[in-house]
Chains A and B, each alone.
Chain A
């Protein structure tokens, strides 16, 4: 058997499984999206139907807010952890990356323990101000959940980005009289842009498409994944659910493709 034949044989199982269980089903999904009463127009309904459009806007705003907040928090902590050496630093890093393997459902539960009816925040606020603060079962809860989910990933990427910075550039800026703020604004932050885009794209795509956290917090949170789920299971509106998932998939894929082109690295979404 020649080497070329062997290489083809090595690819065969992958090709069979991918075509049978990914390519064909996805083609079926795209086709199903246009089998509803409105046909191909179902895809346009994502933008034209007020209810779907409102959900889409909600989801995009939530994802953008999560991404911005995560980037801001992770940049401060990531710069600090990569630049400073102090006792307890490895433990602090371990604590910040510990939730990496938590699935969305578990993250949802973490938010319930933090900000739910029997949660820590509610407990503290009722003792301090006599009013119980419950954030978990709403958009705020989902925002906290995606923050919880994204911070560990983004911190790791930013720390790796800071490690690669060229310290000579900062020294040059300093020797030219730039203060610490100017060095950050004009040297460090611009150099971190690829890390921001790469990790921001993951955070955004996750917050768009993740289902587990929203499902745990409340089934009536108005975001795209929950809409797809209810269209499919409760309304049995399979065509619309398919069209919406194709739309969601396209947005998530486009965000990650953008992140990858700008950063040159491989990125993956999370749910």
Chain B
């Protein structure tokens, strides 16, 4: 009896916590397709708000995808070889480098954005283009790619694979391409999903780095929260959910396969 009561109490508590997290998300999805949120669902369902969001903010949505995939390309080209090198060295220098590139996770985005603005704000063309935002996203997401790949390399016997390929006469580049990269694929995949998810949702850096002509989706969201009616803001959020949920699901599935739940930072 006591156990059942305790079970029921814990279940109710956990359900309340889940409601705290889920109810607002459901409300926003509903508000995005309700004709008039203030009057409630009885005012009818409509896709007008979503269409209006597309008219107003299509450029921010497309730009966010552009930046996310450019960020992915950069982190792949920079991060995967670096993860291999850091793993292969495994010495004090490698740990120091890993420590330095992980710092952007600890330092608030606002500080990094300010630092970039102070250093490169004077380079007008660079400052005005979306590559300025790209740079911020790359600095912020690189550690996720490097660590994700390094985690997988740590689980397999890279050294033996690498050395046996070398003994067969393969050049370092061929070994990297044909032995290391295929073996690191689960880590590269997990890292890629994380990088795209984080880049699509990044706000702290982007708000400081953007210009009126280089708004991204989260910047547009903040804009709509401040100045648009609730239905438009909700419809815009709905568009973001639709973009981000498949990535989140894929990340959880891969995380389960790799034996670790995926965690993200927004």
Contact = CB atoms under 8 A, between A and B. Distances in A.
A26 B17 contact: no
Interface in A69-120: 73, 76-77, 79-81, 84, 86, 92, 95-114, 118, 120
Contacts of A79: 10
Contacts of B138: 17, 21
B266 A149 contact: yes
B87 to A, nearest CB: 10
Interface stretch (A50-58, A165-173, A186-194, A210-218): A210-218
Contact of A270 (B23, B172, B266): B266
A29 to B, nearest CB: 4
Contact of A29 (B105, B114, B201): B114
A266 to B, nearest CB: 7
A229 B203 CA distance: 13
Nearest to A257: B106
A109 B28 contact: yes
Contacts of A152: 21
Contact of A216 (B85, B89, B202, B222): B222
A95 B18 CA distance: 6
A268 B139 contact: no
Interface stretch (B41-49, B51-59, B182-190, B240-248): B240-248
Interface of B is mostly: helix
Interface residues of B, number: 91
Interface of A: 1-3, 5-11, 13-15, 17-18, 21-26, 28-29, 32, 73, 76-77, 79-81, 84, 86, 92, 95-114, 118, 120, 147-149, 151-153, 156, 160, 205, 208-212, 215-216, 225, 228-229, 232, 238, 241-242, 245-246, 248-249, 252-253, 256-257, 266, 268-271
Interface of B: 7, 10-11, 13-15, 17-18, 20-25, 27-28, 31, 37-38, 74, 77-79, 81-82, 84-86, 88-89, 97, 100-112, 114-116, 118-120, 135-136, 138-139, 142-143, 146-147, 166, 171-173, 176, 197, 201-204, 207-208, 218, 221-222, 225-226, 230, 233-234, 237, 240, 244, 247-248, 251-252, 261-266
